[in-house]
Structure 1
Amino acid sequence: MPYVDLYSSDDYAALWYTTNTPYNNVGGFDPSKPSIMILHPMFLCSKWLDNQFGDFRLDYGYNLIAFDMRVAGKSVCRPSGKHDSWVDAADLAFAARSLHLPPVHVLALESISTLCAMRFALLFPEMCLSLTLSNIPGPLERDKWFTTGLEELLQSWCCASDLESFEHIAKEATRFVAGPSCDDPDLIDDLITYWEVELPPTKSQRIAEQLNILLNRTPLSNAALGRITQPVLVLHAERSESCPRKYADRLAEKLVSVQGGAVVYTVKGVAGSLSIIPGHASIANQAFVKFLARLPKSRSDIRPPEVPLQQRMQQALDTLAELVGDETIRQRNPLSPLSFSGLAPDKVASQSETLAHYGELQKTAFTPLRPDGVPARKYSERRNYHWFQSERNGLSYAGASIPATSRQTKEPELELLDTRAPLPSLDSPPPPSPPPVQSSSKGNNQFSGKVTELRVRRTTVTMSGPVSVNKLTGVQVPMARVIGSLPIQKSIM
């Protein structure tokens, strides 16, 4: 994979990218075809875009390019507390100008990619032909369980001390990335193996920096959303818990400047990702291709930008100052992506402290890899009969997964009595007791030579009526017969 160097006096990043051209470079773009920029999901990278690059409808009709964000995949950068979605949008603009990319249709897949895409369209509208947003996240204050769960995920992930602990939290992370209904063992194996190699606890800073983007983001104002003019398609999973449908509808209502209004397309019966699960991704790709077919066709000529880099980035800083309401942004260095950060000083300090904390932890953190850099095992190869193992519904059941070789022998079934036979009278004498068992043990045992009888007593509920027959005689009475003989009481409800 090739990469683009972004360097300035206070920042450095190398963004790796991939294309669908024969030699994996921008020079192989077909000028007669439109171009699409794909932004990968959170916790993943461009390696997980096979469902898009391998789709004939996209690969044949369009030039495709996908960048790894600065804290994902092969991309590298200096950890910074200023990193937010505005910085990610500036990264894309710097990389696009370095490669002389033509204007592109942006396909943003899940969470932080959608946040980046909307900011990219605001700051650099001439580079963005359209926006397609998949499973946009709702506001932070909507559900406390969502943000709390992500914070606990970060802490457990980075502080895992053994392989079982890491596999457990990685399995929970698959529910966030792929959805709670994902039960494909091969997909789960691939996800956990990827995280063991690319995002182990020894790379805690990269994990924390990604989550900081989502948890510490500043939402776009209604005025900012009203300045988006590109055509917008919002793809939404019908049963998604982390991205409810109502927030997709609210976003579409706030995009008042979009000609013809934003289009919201719901994928029926889906509760998780629309990008990494093949069946769901195929439906999303079909809706995306039909959306692009309605737009004017554009060319992909590779030409140097007409406006100098510093001048264009200064214009973007001026726009950002208006959107955020901070005039000091205009005085920043226009050649540094970190200058586009929209975070308040207190949040920058908090993120910097968090990154420094996890930077110290990762020096002595546990690694799930063998000395040769290969995972010790697949997740599906673990011994899964421990109570710590969660089932499909997220709960664990003691003994539910015990192998057959370790189970106790099955007890013989009790013989059912013939319920058609007449019940014995309560006046009849009780059945004879079994003969006493003589103990053969000798010594100082106080029960030696005496009769011992062990009985297991079951808890019974004393009721008036024929149910007492079961207690005295041990005869099984049909439930319908018991209920029918009880006195009828009127309800007071």
Structure 2
Amino acid sequence: MPYVDLHSAADYASIYYTTNATHCNVSGFDPAKPTIVILHPVFLDSTWLDLQLGDSRFNKNYNLIAFDMRSCGKSYCRPSGRHDSWVEAADLAFCFQKLQLPPSHLLCLEGTSIYCALRFAILFSEFCLSLTLVNVPAPVELKWIYKNIDELIHAACFADDLERFEQAAFECIEFLFGPDSDPDLMDELLSFWETTHPPSKRHRTAESTSVYLNRTPLTPEACALITQPVLIIQGEKNELCQMKYAERLVTQLTGVPDGAILYDIKGGTSMVSVVLGHASILNNVFHKFLTRLPHHRSDLVPPSISIRDRMQTALVKLSQIMDNPEVAYLDPLCSLSFCSLAPEVIKGQSELLNHYMKNLDLALTPIHPEIRPRRKFSQREREGWSYQDKGRTSVNSTHSTVLPERVKQESERGGKTSSQPQHSHAADISFFRSAFSAAAAEKRNGITKGPPSKISLNAPSSPMQRMLAS
């Protein structure tokens, strides 16, 4: 089976992978070809990498392998509040060593995969030939994005019927992909969310979301430790991952020979890897970047040192980066030992997971994971729906809105909501805010992330922000 099992006293995870080799196993790799590791976009999984895995230039000339992160797709793990991007980098390192993967080129698509790969390149540089980062987000999530994703994810996770779930999921996907996305793509995304992110699996969605929203920035000193060639591809009109953050990362990658390369996709927005036209440009730029690099064989050679010793070396390096000597004495065979979150944040994430795991057996399951939905979202019954703002749908006064009226009013005037979760009506309050409000206020390297409950939507006017006005 295409899984890598990671066991330790404090953790368990099973990481799913797929390859372009015969029988989908690593032993079928052609040693004469270089290897590309692909990390999927946030809130998606490796099934959404067809435009990269199916590109003939990559499929014929490279060994390809893609992983589902520990709380995504077909991978699964023991839920933990200590899950962050350093943990995912450790997962990837374990996979490299257990599968005896050769040094590889990393293609990282959106969000958490980027921060996982940057950390992986710092701690395990010998496994990384190059980095290609697609749509670099802000070091710490912007307040207005944090608030919107927070509330929309919560509404979808605690929906009690199909109609409410579909509308909440649609609003969230529209926020991530933009309001002008292709209707057929939106239908496919809704079908995917119905089968992989239903309320009955909301603890997995919550864990993935917390890793994304509660990320911490790398210091300039840590970024300077990356010495592999780096290509950054950024959507020109991406409002969620603005160009200035990619430009800032370029200036921080001072250890990259000849500097990192920044390429902007004209008209590109978010999630360019799954939008047909933009994905074609992405693949073309990535292919040209690889052809400039030295050819590297993919011989499967057992590690020269034990996995324990290599991971121990990585923990020592991480302790130096974090300026915390205690990290070096943690269990090197446990990915959670690499967590760099503050104790308050770990506690908040643990409380969040406990909240999301309550009554899972009673939560909505729209459809079996192996079956496609019977209807497309765009072809559903529209009685009680109205069209506003360039054809977008919104709930009229006879239906419950995605966000409670109280929350929307307080968001508009910047008011403060209760800091305690309202278990009597889960959708009445965003639990991410209450769980992280204390820890998120800390300053990290000069960047302040304040409590979302005190945040008003003061970002520049954009089509995405109009969704909360309906």
Query: TM over 0.5: same fold?
Result: yes
Name the structure 2 match of 1:465.
none
Name the structure 1 match of 2:10.
10
Aligned residue pair count: 397
CA contact (8 A) 1:180 1:271 kept: no
Q: TM-score, normalised by structure 1?
A: 0.78
Kindly report which structure 2 residues correspond to 1:44-443, keeping only aligned pairs within 5 A, or say none: 44-140=44-140, 143-182=142-181, 184-369=182-367, 375-387=373-385, 392=390, 394=392, 396=394
| 2: CA distance, partners of 1:270 / 1:125 | 31
Change (3 A) 1:394 1:138: farther
Change (3 A) 1:279 1:370: same
CA RMSD of aligned residues (A): 1.9
| 2: CA distance, partners of 1:172 / 1:59 | 35
CA contact (8 A) 2:137 2:241 kept: yes
SS at 1:116 equivalent = helix
The residue type paired with residue 168 of structure 1 is Q
Change (3 A) 1:218 1:77: same
CA contact (8 A) 1:179 1:273 kept: no
| 2: CA distance, partners of 1:28 / 1:145 | 46
The residue type paired with residue 158 of structure 1 is C
Kindly provide the CA deviation profile for residues 73-108 of structure 1, in whole angstroms up to 9, marking residues without a partner as x. 111110000000000000011011011000000000
| 1: CA distance, partners of 2:320 / 2:144 | 33
Name the structure 2 match of 1:35.
35
- Deviation of the 1:174 alpha carbon: 2.0
| 2: CA distance, partners of 1:389 / 1:43 | 27
Q: Which has the higher helix share?
A: 2
| 2: CA distance, partners of 1:242 / 1:37 | 25
| 2: CA distance, partners of 1:97 / 1:133 | 23
| 2: CA distance, partners of 1:120 / 1:22 | 28
The runs of 5 or more residues in structure 2 that have no matched partner are 398-470
| 1: CA distance, partners of 2:192 / 2:119 | 29
Bigger radius of gyration, 1 or 2?
1
SS at 2:227 equivalent = coil
- Deviation of the 1:189 alpha carbon: 1.4
| 1: CA distance, partners of 2:370 / 2:161 | 18
CA contact (8 A) 1:370 1:376 kept: no
The residue type paired with residue 147 of structure 2 is T
Percent identical residues = 50
Change (3 A) 1:188 1:292: same
Kindly provide the CA deviation profile for residues 164-189 of structure 1, in whole angstroms up to 9, marking residues without a partner as x. 1111111122224433331x222111
| 2: CA distance, partners of 1:346 / 1:144 | 19
- Deviation of the 1:219 alpha carbon: 0.8
CA contact (8 A) 2:139 2:215 kept: no
- Deviation of the 1:363 alpha carbon: 3.0
The residue type paired with residue 353 of structure 1 is E
- Deviation of the 1:397 alpha carbon: 9.1
SS at 2:232 equivalent = strand
Kindly provide the CA deviation profile for residues 307-334 of structure 1, in whole angstroms up to 9, marking residues without a partner as x. 1111100000011111112111011000
Kindly provide the CA deviation profile for residues 48-97 of structure 1, in whole angstroms up to 9, marking residues without a partner as x. 10000111111111110001111111111100000000000000110110
The residue type paired with residue 170 of structure 2 is K
Q: TM-score, normalised by structure 2?
A: 0.81
CA contact (8 A) 2:41 2:271 kept: no
